[in-house]
Every structure is written in structure tokens, then in C-alpha cells.
Amino acid sequence: MTANENSMIPPGVFESLQRKIDDDSAVKDALREIVQELEKQDRSTQATLSRAHSTTSADLPRVVSSAQANIEQEVQTIHKLSEVASKHPYYKYNYAWTRHVQDVCYSILLCGWLGGFGKSEVGQLLSMEDVGGIMGVPVNVKDRDVFHLTIEEYLLALTSLLDELARLARNSVTLGDYRRPLQIAQFTKDVHAGFQVLNLKNDALRKRSDGIKYRVKEVEDVVYDLSLRGLLPKE
């Protein structure tokens, strides 16, 4: 790699490329550290939220407020992430955190559905704007290059919520709550109807949304079992 005059390679060409690659690796390392922290925090949030499967409606608020406290910590980490990420074009390193931001989004959606974040009753869907507000980041940004929550992340998190609710429908019955499966059935159907108006390409979102119909069926089976035995609550 001599850079003398009689050389094909102009001086400094590969040296400056090496610098670019090294800088790039340093950014990736810094991001990885933050993302790992986020991952750890979200695991603990998920562990808290999974207590909902064995908690009666009356005790649910305690689970929810504990999860919400966890999520507040995650939001701080997202703030850190956004600070580092904002120094670079958003989509350049977006792959490094998109899955984890999606997981946090899912935690927030589930917590909100269970009555967290000021939702007075169970069964509410936090909108993408709500989630962005909780995370403290803008959503679906199109005109400037800043850290934000994307539509894809929100929608993928929403499919995770439906997976979890299908499980919750069964476990509610076990806990003797025969009203909640009805609520989940309606919610799942409504979200399913929404996904059906989307024109999805052959991507991750398509794959995940294809699974929704099975969740609809699962929950309907629970409702069917209850109605067969006359266990559905009378309105």
C-alpha cells in the first residue's frame, strides 16, 4: 500500500475509508450498549405484565402501576438512545434498535390495555400518538431526519398485543372472569378488521398480520365454550 507517485492508488484513499469504517463501528458499539440496557429493562417489564394472567381484575391495578414504573425507566433509556441516534441519519442505524423499540411499544400497549397510562378502564387501545407521547418521541416523521416511532414498529407491536390477549382470554376464564374474553374477542376482531384494509407486501408485517386470524379464532373458541355452557354474563 505504498502511496508513492508511481502508484495506482491515490494516497489516503484506503486510509480514509478505514477511518469511516472504524467510526461506524464505534457508533454501532455505543448503540448496542444502550439497546442492551433497554432489552434488560423490557424483560423485567414483561415479567411484571405477565402477572396479569394470574391476577384478578380487582388486583390488576397493582400489576399495572408496577409495570408502568418499569416502563418509565425504559423511556429514560429511549431518551438516551434517541440522543445518540439523532447524531446520525435515522435509518442508517435503525436496524440496531427497531426490534427493541417495538418491544417497548408492545409493553406500553399491553400496559395501556390493562388500564395503565390513565386509561380508566381495561380494554383500550393506545394510539400511535399516545405511545409516542409516553415514549417522549415523535411518531411517523416524514419531513425531518429525527429519532421517532415508525408505523411499522407500532403495527408489529400491535400484533404482539393480540397474541398476548388470546392467551389472556383463556387465563381469564381460569380465574373465573367470563366477561373479559368477550371484551378481548371484540377488540381482536376490531383490530383484525383494521389490518385487513392495509395493502401489505411480502414483509415481516405481512407475516405477523397473517397470524391475526388465528388469534381471532382462538378467542372465539373461548367465547364459544363459555356460551355453550351458559357462562357468558348477561348484559
Partner 1 sequence: MESQSKDGVAPSTSPFMPMFERFRAELDEHHDRRERIIKASRDITAASKKIIFTLQRIRKLNEALPQHAIKSNKQYQDTIQSQIASVSGDLQCLHTYRYSRQISGGCQEWMEAACFQHYLETTTLLSYDDAAEKFRQLDEAGSGIELSPEDWLLGVYDMTGELMRFAITTMATTGELLKPSGSSQSDDDGMDVDGQAHRQRSVLTDLRELRAALESLNVGTGPFAKDCEKKLAVMQTSVEKVEKALYGLVVRGAERPKGWMPEIGDAGGGGRAVEVEG
Nearest CB to partner 1, comparing residues 100 and 148: 148
Backbone angles phi, psi at 139, to 5 degrees: -120, 150
CA-based nearest residue to 222, from 177, 192, 190? 177
Q: Does 33 bind partner 1 (CB under 8 A)?
A: no
162, 215 in Cβ contact below 8 A?
yes
Q: Which region among 13-21, 30-38, 61-69, 164-172 touches partner 1 (by CB under 8 A)?
A: 13-21
Among residues 51, 53, 167, 189, which is the contact residue for partner 1, using CB under 8 A?
189
In the complex, least distance from residue 86 CB atom to partner 1, rounded to whole angstroms: 12
Q: Does 5 bind partner 1 (CB under 8 A)?
A: no
Nearest CB to partner 1, comparing residues 135 and 191: 191
Report residue 160 as a C-alpha cell.
Answer: 404482539
Nearest CB to partner 1, comparing residues 33 and 72: 33
185, 218 in Cβ contact below 8 A?
no
SS3 233: coil
In the complex, least distance from residue 205 CB atom to partner 1, rounded to whole angstroms: 8
- The answer for 140, left when phi > 0, alpha when psi is -120 to 50, beta otherwise, is left
Q: Does 89 bind partner 1 (CB under 8 A)?
A: yes
Q: Which of residues 168-187 bind partner 1 (CB under 8 A)?
A: 182-183, 186-187
Q: Does 8 bind partner 1 (CB under 8 A)?
A: yes
49, 114 in Cβ contact below 8 A?
yes
Interacting residues of 62 by C-beta distance below 8 A, sequence separation 6+? 55
In the complex, least distance from residue 47 CB atom to partner 1, rounded to whole angstroms: 27
Fill in the amino acid letter for 213.
K
45, 66 in Cβ contact below 8 A?
no
CA-based nearest residue to 180, from 133, 139, 223, 147? 223
Give the per-residue contact string, 105-144, with partner 1 (x = CB under 8 A; - = no): ----------------x-xxx-xx-----------xxxxx
Beta-bridge mates of residue 139? 149
Nearest CB to partner 1, comparing residues 61 and 90: 90
Give the DSSP H/E element, type plus range, for residue 156.
helix 151-174
Nearest CB to partner 1, comparing residues 21 and 69: 21
User: For binding to partner 1 (CB under 8 A), which residues are involved?
Assistant: 1-2, 6-10, 13-14, 16-18, 20-22, 24-25, 28, 89-92, 94, 121, 123-125, 127-128, 140-145, 151, 155, 182-183, 186-187, 189-191, 193-195, 197-201, 235
